[in-house]
Structures are given as C-alpha cells and as structure tokens.
C-alpha cells in the first residue's frame, strides 16, 4: 500500500484520535553501473526508482518516537529522541530509524532531546533485493525527524550525514544509496562522486527501459551478506596500504592513501597506468594471509589486524580461510571506476549498445574479481541476454538480490514473458508478481508529498 489516502487511514488506526501532519516519501534505487566503488571514493551511476517508502507522521512534543508499519513483519516500536539510544536486536527495522535519529542528533544540529514523532510506514520496495529499501527507510526517517523539529536541510549535506548514520546498523557501506534516494531526478540517472559528495544528472536513452529481476535469493544485510560485504571493504583497505607503499617506493616519494581512489593517477599526478601497474604487480594473483600482509607492510600481524580489519562496531573481520584476494579486488574496483566514466560518456553520446556492453563487463568483473555473484544471478543474466537485454548485470551489493536489464521498449513484453517462462516458472509455484520482476522508471528524490493542516 503506498496510496496516500490509505496511509492516512492507517495512521488513524495506529494512533487513534490523532491526525497525520504530513506525508513524506523516499524512493529505492537501482545502480546501473559502478558496483562496490562508492566506499573507495570512486563514482557510481544509479537512478532512483518508482518504488518508494511512504510515511504519514505527526510530531510529538515530549520526544517520543513511535513507529508502526503496514507490513506485519515490522512490529510497532518506540524510543526517545535522545542520546544514548538503545538499539533493538540485530536486523530489527527500528534500528534504521534510530540510525537516522542518532545521526541527526549527533551531527545535524538538532537539540538533544529533540521533538519526536509518530509515524506509519508503508512501502513497495522489495527488501533484501539490492534496491536499497534500508536506505529509503533511513532517508524517510531523517526527513520526518527534521520536519517534526522544523529544521531546514540541504539535501547534499543530509545525504552525506545519513550515509555515515546508516553505518551504525553494521555495514561499512558507502554513500550511494542515501544520495540517490535524496537527489534522484525523474528520467535521469545520477553520476555520484564522493569525498566530497557531488551529483550530476545523466539523461537516459529514449526508447529503452530498465527491467529489474529478483534472483529469489535474499541478500539480507543482517546475515552472511553483511560479513561478506564487510570483508570486501577490509580487503580493499589492505590492498590500498600495500599499493600505496609500493607506489611510494617506485616514485621515490611517500604517498598516503586513505582509500583506493587516492591512488588514481590524476590525484598522484602520474601518467595513467603507472600506479596501476605497480599496484597490480605487488598485489599479484595469489591470496594473502594477514601475516603476509603484515610482513610486507613491516608491522606486526596484531597491528595490521587492528588497523585494517576493525569494523565500525569494534569487532574484527575474520581472516578468510582461503586468504585475502587483494589483486582481484583491486582490479575490480579500479576497472569498474573506469567503466563508470565510459558509461557516462556512452550515454551522453547516445551509444546505447556500448552502455549495455559496459553493464555486461561490469557483471563479469563483479563475478570473477569481486566474487559477489551467485548461480541464480548467473542464470538470470544469461536468460536476459539471450532474450534481448542489451546489458544485464547484478545490481547492489550482490550475494543474491536483483539483476538490472537494459531492454528496448518495443521488446519489453516479450522479454518479461521469456524471463517468467525460463527463470521464474520452474522456481516459484505462486503467481509471478511485480515484487520479483518489474519494469522501472527513473524517479525524483525524497521529500514531502503533501502537507496537511496539523
Ligand atoms: P545494497 O546492499 O544494494 O543496498 C550496498 C551499499 C552501497 C554500495 C553497494 C555496492 C549499503 C546500505 N549500501 O548496497 O553503498 O556499496 O552495496 O555497490 O550497504
């Protein structure tokens, strides 16, 4: 249910005698290209989608935050708009609301304690699908909290703040999702750059559409997918330290790099390819143990563990049995960053086939070098390409979730039928719904959709 009238009624049922003061929406997103690049400071190219999370809310003067959801899987919760906030058990939906509230109390200039709110949430973004339902929840909650306190905001600064805020939930994520949810533009993708956050609209080709298809493997950020995601972040921190050391040696001056994008040739003032070759040479193709990395960096394994493997919550990412695959991870991130540049160029030149080819190359790199695909996603992209998709790739963090397919508008129906027949029919008994297979259009960013008299 994302109908505004129905949501106002749901608010009345959840909070009898009270009337919603306003409605706010935040869209999900699909990332077209630039996967696992945001947390290293490299660009991404997502678009906001016409699936959204909607909330009806009213401020509370006493700082109480009380939230309900029209989806029965998400139980009613309440807490106070004041630090410290006691988190709910891991995986609880209210933790995402708390993340926004905590972020704004700590960095957003809101008084502590602040005014709270009562809110009913309702949405149609499939969850655990790589479509950022979690960030839509953080963004919409942040906007409700700001509105309840009458605090104005700058969307770019807010996107930055909410990206940091969402990390409280436990993923060492980048800033793509919150930015696109807040800044999305109808009919456009956004090229988003980080450190500092910037966004530039890129027109999408007329006569084509994006179809999203779920692999039926849930990519839940509260489970195994989260530790895999965090492990990739750690691997790239290790790759970055080793590469910076090797590049410093080669060019005879010390290079400090906080993230892989600090080693981009234009930042180092080096000819294209030189730093990359040095990095690739030191990282090699072999897996690394933590003690190998520590020895190469001339620090103790304990120090390397503390410095590079520590996650935001203070825990340490465990060393994988098969070792850290640093060369492969580095190659994915740097080649994907180049593909984003080329993809933007292709779109600007109206070269749709080139854009599709880059989507396919991105998928191969996510599968072979970053190792975030799975058999179901492989089956999906193969079927998609065999039935007319110009480009088909996993989208979002991977490990399940969805793929995104670039399809000519004239072939959409045929394409969807083929996907139903060849992928879904053998896997789901019930009706194949628009939860798992749907065409989407680029939507506008989050904001109020209606303000009623309080
Ligand atoms: P998903 O899991 O698709 O919402 C995650 C990260 C992004 C980005 C992508 C991979 C969160 C909230 N978001 O997106 O920042 O790193 O993976 O490109 O974890």
Q: How many CB atoms lie under 10 A from the CB of residue 85? A: 19
**C-beta of 171 in contact with ligand 1 (< 6 A):** yes
User: What does the mean pLDDT of the chain come to?
Assistant: 94
Reported pTM: 0.95
Q: Which atom of ligand 1 is nearest to the CA of 34?
A: 18
CA–centroid distance, 396 to ligand 1, in Å, is: 5
Structure token pair of residue 311:
């996650």
pLDDT in tens, 177-199: 999 999 999 999 999 999 999 99
pLDDT category, 453, cuts 50, 70, 90?
A: very low
Task: Give the closest residue (by CA) to ligand 1 atom 5.
Answer: 397
pLDDT in tens, 304-343: 999 999 988 888 999 999 999 999 999 999 999 999 999 9
Structure token pair of residue 390:
């110009």
pLDDT category, 454, cuts 50, 70, 90?
A: very low
pLDDT in tens, 378-387: 999 999 999 9
Ligand 1 site-directed mutation target among 177, 194, 370, 394, most atoms within 8 Å of CB: 177
**Does position 221 have pLDDT exceeding 80, yes or no?**
no
User: Which listed residue (38, 127, 160, 177) is catalytic?
Assistant: 177
What is the model's pLDDT at position 199?
A: 97
pLDDT in tens, 266-304: 999 988 889 999 999 999 999 999 999 999 999 999 999
């Amino acid at each position: 249910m994302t109908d505004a009238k129905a949501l106002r009624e749901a608010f009345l049922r959840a909070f009898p005698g009270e009337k919603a003061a306003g409605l706010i929406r935040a869209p999900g997103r699909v990332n077209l290209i630039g996967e696992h690049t945001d947390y290293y400071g490299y660009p991404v190219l997502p678009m906001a989608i016409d699936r959204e999370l909607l909330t009806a809310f009213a401020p509370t003067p006493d700082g109480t935050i009380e939230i309900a959801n029209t989806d029965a899987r998400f139980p009613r919760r309440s807490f106070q708009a004041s630090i410290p906030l006691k988190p709910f058990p891991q995986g609880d939906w209210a933790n995402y609301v708390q993340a926004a509230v905590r972020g704004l109390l700590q960095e957003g200039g809101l008084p502590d304690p602040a005014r709270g709110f009562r809110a009913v949430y309702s949405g149609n973004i499939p969850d655990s699908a790589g479509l950022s339902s979690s960030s839509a929840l953080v963004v919409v909650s942040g906007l409700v909290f700001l509105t309840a306190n009458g605090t104005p905001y700058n969307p770019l600064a807010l996107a930055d703040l909410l990206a940091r805020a969402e990390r409280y939930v436990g993923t060492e994520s980048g800033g793509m999702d919150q930015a696109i949810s807040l800044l999305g533009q109808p009919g456009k993708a956004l090229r988003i750059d980080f450190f500092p956050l910037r966004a530039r609209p890129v027109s999408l080709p007329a006569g084509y559409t994006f179809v999203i298809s779920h692999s039926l493997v849930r990519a839940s950020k509260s489970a195994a997918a989260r530790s895999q995601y965090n492990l990739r972040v750690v691997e790239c921190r290790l790759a970055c330290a080793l590469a910076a050391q090797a590049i410093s040696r080669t060019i005879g001056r010390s290079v400090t790099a906080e993230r892989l994008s600090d080693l981009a040739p234009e930042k180092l003032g080096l000819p294209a390819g030189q730093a990359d070759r040095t990095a690739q040479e030191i990282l090699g193709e072999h897996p690394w143990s933590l003690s190998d990395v520590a020895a190469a960096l001339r620090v103790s394994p304990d120090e390397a563990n503390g410095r590079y493997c520590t996650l935001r919550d203070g825990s340490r990412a465990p060393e994988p049995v098969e070792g850290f695959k640093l060369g492969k991870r580095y190659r994915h991130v740097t080649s994907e960053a180049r593909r984003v540049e080329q993809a933007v160029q292709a779109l600007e030149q109206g070269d749709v086939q080139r854009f599709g080819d880059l989507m396919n190359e991105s998928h191969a790199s996510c599968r072979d070098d970053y190792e975030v695909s799975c058999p179901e996603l492989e089956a999906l992209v193969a079927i998609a390409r065999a039935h007319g998709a110009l480009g088909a790739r996993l989208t979002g963090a991977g490990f399940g979730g969805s793929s995104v397919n670039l399809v000519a508008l004239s072939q959409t129906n045929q394409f969807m039928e083929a996907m139903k027949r060849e992928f879904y029919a053998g896997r789901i008994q019930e009706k194949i719904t628009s939860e798992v297979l749907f065409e989407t259009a680029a939507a506008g960013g989050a904001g109020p959709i209606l303000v009623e008299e309080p």
